Amino acid sequence: MCETIQIRDAKGHIGQKVRLRGWLRNKRSGKNIHFLIVRDGSGEMQCVAVGEVLSEEAMDLCDRMGIESSLDVCGELSADDRAPGGVEMQVSQVEALQLVEDYPIAKKEHGTEFLMANRHLWLRSSRQIAIMRVRDEVEKAWADFFYDHGFARVDTPIFTPNAVEGTTTLFDVDYHGDKAYLSQSGQLYNEATAAALGRVYCFGPTFRAEKSKTRRHLLEFWMLEAEAAFFDHEDNMRFQEELILDTMRAVLENCAEQLAILERDTSKLEMVRAPFPRMHYRDAVKLINEKMPGREGEFEYGSDFGAPEETFLGEQSEQPLFITNFPANTKAFYMKRDPGDPETVLGSDLLAPEGYGELIGGSQREDDLEAILARVREFKLPEEAFEWYFDLRRYGSVPHSGFGIGLERTLSWLCGVPHIRETIAFPRMLHHMYP
Ligand code: 4AD
Ligand code: MG
């Protein structure tokens, strides 16, 4: 029996007889010849089956083998620049693990509704595999980046007793008779662990009962939240720039093949440079009111931006754009006021270029006990529930800052995928939870 290999390692086995196991991606047949495009998850390879080599039975099997049949093939590998991946197999033996003749996703265009209902199969398409590979790369790049910068990953709970980001987007669950909520942010816990370990992050599923049905919103998404003791607002923004540049570099370096499949215009990514431009909320509102098509003069100072405003603002710049100094009442209670402009906060939203929307929300945190108490009262939050959080301002309070970055938003931008539903294997959206 010959050695079983993964297609991604094929180049190292030229001239050898090897075994592959995978699925039939595609097939072209001629007289006495079949070109089987086999994928094994790690890549794709053209395997050539010819009547001179194979038995009549084996050729008949190839003839009947439909798309997504699972198979086991052996043969010698040769270099061939015309073949996808540059390596081709001359098949000497072929077996079907399961013959499929009626795979539901054909090459013809299917509507989104059909593809979403068949997400478990849609994931096998080249495009979806490419996006999941980039996702894996970004997760690795993030883990490495934070590790290298001395941040410890400390995971935070998913069951939580109260809101962080506002009460309108909470999913509640029965916690043995008590009401609990699915986490909409691990930040408050990060603030506690940052006071223990200095620099921390959490990364996990995040739940928002958003009623919005936009191409940017999921009800369950993955957010990485970082928190650093002694970071001020400026440090926080500079660190976000570094993170974005590093993530982009990792994807450009290691996912060229995937970005090509996705037909991503990488020149748009390659031109991204730090420092990213910064725009005061007041100027952003002015710009919207002066220039945003259909919205001229309509945006009210003091509201938070929705998806259309974020798209518009993001399109104004080829670089990611920080919007700073939001009015305090549009943002969460924990943000520190800007001493030079106390109606506004020391926080920022980072908008992706090309109109992909908000990637990061971050801020310096209110570290003064009296001020945070006042905020909790102002926002009419249940004071008792925050007792432990106040302790962080009673015992060794320090200036600290942090942010949250959405994995799926980041992927939409890097992959050039207009709808967020393709950036997570099984998206959870308004009126969509199957499969
Ligand atoms: O701006 P947000 O709500 O910030 C927080 O949750 C802070 N507690 C973070 C922190 O400072 N520790 O969310 C942060 C990011 C957004 O910029 C966006 O990328 C993503 O999370 N996000 C969503 N992604 C997909 N679907 C949704 N419904 C999202 N809501 C937020
Ligand atoms: Mg936000």
DSSP string, 198-246: SEEEEEEEEE-------TT--SEEEEEEEEEET--HHHHHHHHHHHHHH
Q: What percentage of the chain exceeds 70 in pLDDT?
A: 100
Which ligand 1 atom sits closest to the C-alpha of 169?
28
Read off the pLDDT of residues 39-55 as tens digits, 9 standing for 90 and up: 999 999 999 999 999 99
Read off the pLDDT of residues 268-292 as tens digits, 9 standing for 90 and up: 999 999 999 999 999 999 999 999 9
Nearest CA to ligand 1 atom 6: 185
**Residue 163: CB within 6 Å of ligand 1?**
no
**Residue 401: CB within 6 Å of ligand 1?**
no
pLDDT at 295 over 90: no
pLDDT at 258 over 70: yes
Report the pLDDT averaged over residues 78-102. 94
DSSP string, 351-376: EPGGG--EEEEEEEBP--HHHHHHHH
Q: What domains are there in the chain, each with its CATH number? A: 3-98 (2.40.50.140), 119-423 (3.30.930.10)
pLDDT at 107 over 80: no
- Do β-strands 199-207 and 220-229 pair in parallel, antiparallel, or remain unpaired? antiparallel
CA of 187, nearest ligand number: 1
CA of 351, nearest ligand number: 1
Residue 109 pLDDT grade (very low, low, confident, very high; cuts 50, 70, 90): confident
Q: What percentage of the chain exceeds 90 in pLDDT?
A: 91
Evaluate whether 418 touches 370 at the Cβ level (below 8 Å).
Answer: no
pLDDT at 167 over 80: no
Nearest CA to ligand 1 atom 28: 217
Cα–Cα distance between 325 and 342 in angstroms, integer? 9
Read off the pLDDT of residues 168-193 as tens digits, 9 standing for 90 and up: 889 999 999 999 999 999 999 999 99
Residue 429's pLDDT is 96
Report the pLDDT averaged over residues 262-273. 97
Nearest to 7, CA basis, from 36, 50, 32: 36
Cα–Cα distance between 360 and 321 in angstroms, integer? 10
Long-range own/partner contacts, residues 91-94 (CB < 8 A, 24 or more apart): 91/36, 91/47, 91/48, 91/49, 91/50, 91/53, 91/54, 92/17, 92/53, 92/54, 93/54, 93/58, 94/36, 94/47, 94/49, 94/54, 94/58, 94/61, 94/62
Read off the pLDDT of residues 62-78 as tens digits, 9 standing for 90 and up: 999 999 999 999 999 99
**Residue 402: CB within 6 Å of ligand 1?**
yes
Cα–Cα distance between 397 and 390 in angstroms, integer? 10
Nearest to 325, CA basis, from 413, 410, 237: 237
Could you list which residues have their CB under 5 Å from ion ligand 2?
A: 361
Report the pLDDT averaged over residues 76-98. 94
Order of strands across the sheet that contains 159-160 = 159-160, 178-182, 172-175
Which ligand 1 atom sits closest to the C-alpha of 187?
12
Residue 1's pLDDT is 65
Residue 353's pLDDT is 95
Residue 106's pLDDT is 81
pLDDT at 31 over 80: yes
Read off the pLDDT of residues 190-216 as tens digits, 9 standing for 90 and up: 999 999 999 999 999 999 998 888 999
Average pLDDT value for the chain: 96
Cα–Cα distance between 427 and 434 in angstroms, integer? 9
Cα–Cα distance between 391 and 387 in angstroms, integer? 6
Question: Which helix or strand (DSSP H or E) is residue 284 part of?
Answer: helix 281-291
**Residue 221: CB within 6 Å of ligand 1?**
yes
Residues 6+ apart with CB under 8 A from 55: none
Report the pLDDT averaged over residues 88-93. 98
Read off the pLDDT of residues 343-357 as tens digits, 9 standing for 90 and up: 999 999 999 999 999
Dihedral of CA 148/363/169/379: which sign? positive
Dihedral of CA 292/293/298/303: which sign? negative
Evaluate whether 372 touches 390 at the Cβ level (below 8 Å).
Answer: yes
pLDDT at 14 over 90: yes
**Residue 217: CB within 6 Å of ligand 1?**
yes
355 backbone φψ class: left, alpha, beta (φ>0; ψ -120 to 50)? left
Q: Which of 156, 409, 417 to mutate to test the pocket of ligand 1 (most atoms within 8 A of CB)?
A: 409
Evaluate whether 313 touches 284 at the Cβ level (below 8 Å).
Answer: yes
Read off the pLDDT of residues 18-28 as tens digits, 9 standing for 90 and up: 999 999 999 99
pLDDT at 85 over 90: no
pLDDT at 259 over 80: yes
At residue 29, the 3 state secondary structure works out as: strand
131 backbone φψ class: left, alpha, beta (φ>0; ψ -120 to 50)? alpha
Nearest to 330, CA basis, from 310, 347, 351: 347
How many other β-carbons are positioned within 10 Å of the β-carbon of residue 296? 11
Distance 421 CA to ligand 1 centre (A): 16
